[in-house]
Amino acid sequence: MPPPCAPLSTVTPLSEPVQPSFSRTYSNATPLYITALTNHPSPPYNARLECWSLANTFTTYPTVGRALSLGNVDNATYVVLPPRSAEGWHRPPHLMFFVLLSGLAQVFAPRTNRPMPSVDMQFHAQGPAPMVGAPTTYERQWDVITIAPGSPQQVLIAGDTDMRSPGHLTYYPGDGETVALQIPISGGVVPEHTVVHEGGCTGDEGEGRV
């Protein structure tokens, strides 16, 4: 006959609670990095991509995690874009946050503040194929970001509103619909920030990610 099991009171407890693999936390002082579309300050006022570090700091959330105020915003719009489509040259109607919820978007901004390179809209609307492989003359003309859920550009500030510029190009090369939120920033007030570098954020700027 096997010996009786030891009473529960004699079971040795774990010396320390097991820590989940995602237990590492970020400091509230860690900045939030966000990609912004702005305009060059001199002619021809081309759109450009920059990586910003927002001045607002994180606070501890009441339950778990941390939060950061993005400032005052106005009425948000829920936008559904068809698969394999293109917007062509356009400017945001006002300063706003663009938040990708699902799908895929590619934003093209001129790499220099010189006259715009020509674009074959029909060809490049077919998807990201032109961006595959070694850099081409076409690629060297553009700064390009690919926006997908979880990417460093999932939240974007669209601020290239200067009427003297045609704006930027956006394509939706996915096989399904792309869904996003457009959230105007109240009064067109640019969030206080520091420019970290030219071009979109990469996710390697620090511990804070967008």
* Residue of higher predicted confidence among 9 and 137: 137
pLDDT at 105: 95
Does the pLDDT value for residue 129 go beyond 70?
no
- Lowest pLDDT segment from 113-117, 151-155, 190-194: 113-117
Interval 69-81 mean pLDDT: 94
List, in order of start, the domains of the chain with CATH numbers: 30-198 (2.60.120)
- Residue 133: what are its φ and ψ, rounded to 5°? 95, -165
Distance CA 96, CA 77 (A): 11
This prediction's pTM: 0.75
